[in-house]
């Protein structure tokens, strides 16, 4: 019997610092750190291809920090954990909480099972600044609108807890069973994770993951480096530059936060006390508010568990989304003929990331100009984003579609030309991801079809040969969308 040892179940907390479950266990004795790739739960959201790539590298990094002691399993935690406890004689299990509805149900069932076996179970909050059940309106119901949620809900509560230090010492259970699936984490990629995201022929000739690997460093050290760079170089101008895809104006912390390589508590307190004391309040405050947008997404998912599948506003169930596979494919591949949209979709494909402003533009374009269901867009993002997150992705898509809780009004239809001119005025972002347009002057970079023939010729651009002509008419599709949305206002 292992009286002082603890089984530490890592999930979306792939870090050593500010890890309450790990610290709790390390203070009590030896550790048996495990990760389970749970592919058994019927309601689970299987991670997309980009997420699997990240997970593989993040687990390798965590394993190094744990002196190669992380055990990796694949299967049902309700079977695997009791089995492991039996084999090792360990009497205590700890984990940090997850918030997807199926994870909550699974963890509750596991907790009940372990209690019935006389096992001590302790769970912690490691990935939200405030628990979703702690924040409610005066009448006890959940908030649906961000600003009162943030100002009257979160900011009126005690501040988030201060991040914990790394455990000063970690010792491990000797002769614990090795992971049944991946005894050697180096085999993760070869054995279990696809190296190409889709079964369809890759549209880029460069292997997909090579470019992603060049842009990102999964793991706790990569997260800390991004946070440090952001605090040093960008937080001063964050309030304005966060909308500029042509600048390095945001933190690029989203995948790190999703996989828990960094806690929001760490980001919150570093931002409150940045290395650059001159950082103006506006940049700092804006960054804190964005971290709370993440919280708000989790809050909505917790209180409305059907957020990923059902319109938050039921009247959208009557919306006549159109089934247009060819247009959906053009959107996915960055071949719509609207440079800012195409640059965004290609950024996503090539780097596993897309700038937030551009996410809003490509979302609005899909849903409002093409009238394609937001769920098709969310599914594509789910497979291709490294930061694919059930809460943030679902809440954001519903926001863009107008069907969400605190949604953009249906009549806000972004114009990809004027938005491009405003947020990428010189076209640097477009030129980076649509190099075939690189020689167009800035005046036409967001509307190549409007350039005089001679200018297009001089730039080597031939519509529908070197670059697509627009796949929809902006004015007409906007009117169609307004009419379709207006019909929702009529009684059913």
| Known active-site residue 226 | no
Stretch that binds ligand FAD, among 137-145, 188-196, 250-258, 473-481 (CB under 6 A): 250-258
Mask for 271-300, x = binds ligand FAD (CB under 6 A): -------------------xx-xx--x---
Identified binder of ligand FAD from the candidate list 91, 127, 369, 392, rule CB under 6 A: 392
| Known active-site residue 290 | yes
Please report, as residue ranges, which positions from 50 to 79 form the binding site for ligand FAD (by CB under 6 A). none
Identified binder of ligand FAD from the candidate list 18, 246, 387, 406, rule CB under 6 A: 387
State which residue, 22 or 360, has the beta carbon closest to ligand FAD: 360
Identified binder of ligand FAD from the candidate list 334, 363, 404, 416, rule CB under 6 A: 363
Identified binder of ligand FAD from the candidate list 70, 81, 84, 385, rule CB under 6 A: 385
The answer to the question of residue 470 lying near ligand FAD (CB under 6 A) is: no
The answer to the question of residue 396 lying near ligand FAD (CB under 6 A) is: yes
State which residue, 297 or 311, has the beta carbon closest to ligand FAD: 297
The answer to the question of residue 251 lying near ligand FAD (CB under 6 A) is: yes
State which residue, 18 or 30, has the beta carbon closest to ligand FAD: 18
- In total, the chain counts a number of residues equal to 492
Paired residues of 7 in beta bridges: 32, 93
| Known active-site residue 397 | yes
| Known active-site residue 382 | no
CA–CA separation, 445 and 37 (whole Å): 45
Phi/psi at 476 (5° precision) = -65, -45
List the catalytic residue out of 53, 216, 304, 374.
374
State which residue, 28 or 432, has the beta carbon closest to ligand FAD: 432
Closest CA to 222 of 65, 344, 69: 65
Q: How far is the CB of 50 from ligand FAD (least distance, A)?
A: 10
The torsion defined by the Cα of 109, 113, 115 and 119, in degrees rounded to 10, comes to -120
**Are the CB atoms for 173 and 91 separated by under 8 Å?**
no
Q: How far is the CB of 42 from ligand FAD (least distance, A)?
A: 22
The answer to the question of residue 397 lying near ligand FAD (CB under 6 A) is: yes
**Axis crossing angle, helix 356-364 with helix 374-384, rounded to the nearest 10:** 140
Please report, as residue ranges, which positions from 321 to 360 form the binding site for ligand FAD (by CB under 6 A). 356, 359-360
The answer to the question of residue 269 lying near ligand FAD (CB under 6 A) is: no
Burial of 112 (0-12, 13-18, 19+ CB in 10 A): exposed
State which residue, 182 or 381, has the beta carbon closest to ligand FAD: 381
Question: With CB under 6 A, what is the number of residues at the site for ligand FAD?
Answer: 27
CA–CA separation, 245 and 431 (whole Å): 12
Give the CA angle between residues 410, 254, 148 to the nearest 5°: 50
The answer to the question of residue 373 lying near ligand FAD (CB under 6 A) is: no
Mask for 167-206, x = binds ligand FAD (CB under 6 A): ----------------------------------------
The answer to the question of residue 381 lying near ligand FAD (CB under 6 A) is: yes
Which two three-digit tokens encode residue 84? Answer: 């492991």
List the catalytic residue out of 53, 216, 397, 399.
397
Identified binder of ligand FAD from the candidate list 56, 252, 368, 375, rule CB under 6 A: 252
CA–CA separation, 424 and 418 (whole Å): 10
The answer to the question of residue 258 lying near ligand FAD (CB under 6 A) is: yes
| Known active-site residue 268 | no
Stretch that binds ligand FAD, among 390-398, 435-443, 453-461, 475-483 (CB under 6 A): 390-398
Identified binder of ligand FAD from the candidate list 106, 242, 368, 431, rule CB under 6 A: 242
List the catalytic residue out of 290, 304, 347, 399.
290
Q: How far is the CB of 226 from ligand FAD (least distance, A)?
A: 8
**Are the CB atoms for 149 and 135 separated by under 8 Å?**
yes
The answer to the question of residue 388 lying near ligand FAD (CB under 6 A) is: yes
Give me the active site residues, please. Answer: 290, 293, 321, 356, 374, 397
State the residues that interact with ligand FAD by CB under 6 A: 242, 250-254, 257-258, 290-291, 293-294, 297, 356, 359-360, 363, 381, 385, 387-389, 392-393, 396-397, 400
């Amino acid at each position: 019997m292992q009286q002082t040892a603890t089984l530490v179940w890592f999930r979306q907390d792939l870090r050593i610092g500010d890890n309450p479950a790990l610290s709790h266990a390390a203070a009590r004795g030896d550790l048996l750190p495990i990760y389970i790739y749970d592919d058994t739960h019927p309601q689970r959201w299987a991670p997309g291809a980009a997420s699997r790539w990240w997970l593989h590298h993040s687990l390798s990094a965590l394993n190094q920090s744990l002196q190669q002691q992380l055990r990796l399993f694949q299967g049902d935690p309700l079977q695997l954990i009791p089995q492991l406890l039996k084999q090792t004689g360990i009497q205590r299990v700890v984990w940090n909480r997850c918030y997807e509805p199926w994870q909550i149900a699974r963890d509750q069932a596991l907790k009940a099972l372990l209690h019935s076996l006389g096992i001590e179970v302790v769970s912690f909050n490691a990935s939200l600044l405030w628990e979703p059940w702690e924040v409610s309106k005066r009448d006890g119901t959940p908030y649906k609108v961000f600003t009162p949620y943030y100002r009257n809900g979160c900011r009126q509560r005690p501040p988030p807890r201060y991040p914990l230090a790394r455990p000063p010492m970690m010792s491990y259970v000797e002769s614990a069973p090795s992971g049944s699936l991946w005894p050697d984490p180096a085999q993760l990629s070869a054995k279990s994770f696809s190296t190409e995201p889709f079964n369809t022929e890759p549209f880029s000739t460069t292997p997909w993951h090579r470019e992603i690997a060049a842009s990102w460093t999964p793991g706790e050290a990569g997260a800390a480096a991004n946070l440090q760079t952001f605090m040093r170089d960008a937080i001063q101008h964050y309030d304005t530059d966060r909308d500029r895809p042509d600048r390095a104006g945001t933190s690029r912390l989203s995948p790190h936060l999703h996989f828990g390589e960094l806690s929001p508590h760490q980001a919150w307190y570093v931002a409150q006390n940045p290395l650059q004391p001159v950082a103006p309040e506006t940049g700092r405050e804006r960054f804190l508010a964005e971290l709370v947008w993440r919280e708000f997404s989790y809050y909505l998912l917790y209180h409305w568990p059907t957020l990923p599948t059902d319109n938050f506003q039921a009247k959208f169930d009557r919306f006549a989304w159109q089934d247009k596979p060819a247009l959906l494919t053009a959107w996915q591949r960055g071949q719509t003929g609207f440079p800012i949209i195409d640059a965004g979709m290609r950024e996503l494909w090539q780097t596993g990331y897309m700038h937030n402003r551009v996410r809003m533009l490509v979302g609005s374009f899909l849903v409002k100009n093409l009238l394609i269901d937001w769920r098709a867009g969310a599914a594509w993002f789910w497979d291709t984003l490294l930061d694919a997150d059930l809460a943030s992705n679902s809440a954001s898509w519903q926001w863009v579609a107008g069907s969400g809780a605190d949604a953009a009004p249906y009549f806000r239809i972004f114009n990809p030309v004027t938005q491009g001119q405003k947020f990428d005025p010189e076209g640097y972002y477009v030129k980076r991801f649509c190099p075939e347009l690189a020689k167009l002057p800035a005046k036409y970079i967001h509307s190549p079809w409007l350039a005089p023939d001679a200018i297009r010729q001089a730039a080597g651009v031939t519509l529908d040969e070197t670059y697509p002509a627009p796949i929809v008419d902006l004015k007409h599709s906007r009117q169609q969308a307004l009419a379709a949305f207006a019909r929702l206002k009529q009684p059913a």
